[in-house]
């Protein structure tokens, strides 16, 4: 199914998320204490926000279980990284693969682009970056999105990407929404496809994970290659 909102701009780009609350009681009758709610006897009152990382980014640390910065992997091999959602942080297994298909006129016509941008896609190849994520420890990863990986082509350049925030589905690559609620149990899997385009002779040959605590430099990133 194809769905989208608005219009995307076609851009060639580098395929390069705890709040407290307080309340003030209304003044009571002079000489009397203002009433306040009380918990049922023996009931524990939770002080932990339901989304502790909604506005605060937690510190993510490397460990003996995580993939070392500078590691080079083949497409299809799994990396283990520290990751977080609004709710919790933990370890995530990430595997990436890339495949391709000619950009058909039918798919191009359904994309929410201007006629001029559609014309630029004709004769190109779609590249599908498929990211498979595994919840290794049962962390609540509900609502996460797949990380954006830095893609490089055979020539050393960058593939084209559709940017703009709306979904762009084509045959063989349905862009996914946020991870479902059941992405919170050990071994749960969530997969997402990201669409790129370019020349068939210059495919994507490298993808790099650079989110913290990793970095942009190759010696501090995780890199997958063909």
Residues 204, 206, 211, 216: what is their CA dihedral angle, to the nearest 10 degrees? -110
Q: How far apart are CA 111 and CA 133, in angstroms?
A: 27
Query: Domain segments of the chain: what residues?
Result: 58-225
Q: Which fold has domain 58-225?
A: Immunoglobulin-like (2.60.40)
C-beta separation of 55 from 17 below 8 A: no
Three-class secondary structure of residue 58 per DSSP: coil
pTM, full prediction: 0.77
Q: How far apart are CA 83 and CA 106, in angstroms?
A: 38
Q: Enumerate residues 6+ apart whose C-beta is below 8 A from 7.
A: 112, 113, 114, 164, 166
Question: pLDDT per residue over 118-146, tens digit each?
Answer: 999 999 999 999 999 999 999 999 999 99
Give the per-residue pLDDT at 32. 32
**Proportion of the chain above pLDDT 70, given as a percent:** 76
Give the per-residue pLDDT at 44. 57
Question: pLDDT per residue over 168-209, tens digit each?
Answer: 789 999 877 799 999 999 999 999 999 999 999 999 999 999
């Amino acid at each position: 199914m194809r769905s989208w909102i608005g219009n995307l701009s076609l851009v060639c780009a580098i395929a390069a998320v705890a709040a407290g609350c307080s309340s003030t009681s209304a003044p009571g009758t002079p000489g009397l204490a203002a009433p306040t709610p009380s918990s049922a006897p023996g009931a524990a009152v939770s002080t932990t926000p339901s989304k502790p990382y909604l506005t605060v980014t937690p510190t993510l640390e490397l460990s003996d279980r995580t993939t070392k910065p500078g590691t080079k992997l083949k497409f299809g091999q799994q990396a283990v990284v520290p990751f977080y959602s609004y709710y919790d942080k933990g370890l995530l297994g990430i595997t990436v693969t890339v495949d391709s298909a000619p950009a058909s006129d039918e798919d191009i016509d359904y994309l929410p682009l201007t006629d001029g941008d559609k014309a630029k896609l004709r004769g190109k190849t779609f590249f599908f970056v498929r990211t498979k994520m595994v919840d290794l420890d049962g962390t609540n990863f509900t609502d996460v999105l797949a990380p954006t990986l830095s893609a490089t082509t055979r020539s050393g350049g960058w593939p084209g990407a559709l940017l703009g925030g709306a979904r762009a589905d084509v045959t063989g690559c349905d862009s996914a929404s946020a991870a479902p609620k059941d992405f919170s149990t050990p071994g749960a899997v969530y997969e997402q496809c990201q669409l790129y385009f370019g020349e068939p002779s210059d495919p994507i040959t490298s993808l790099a994970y650079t989110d913290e605590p990793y970095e942009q430099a190759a010696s501090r990133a995780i890199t997958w290659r063909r």
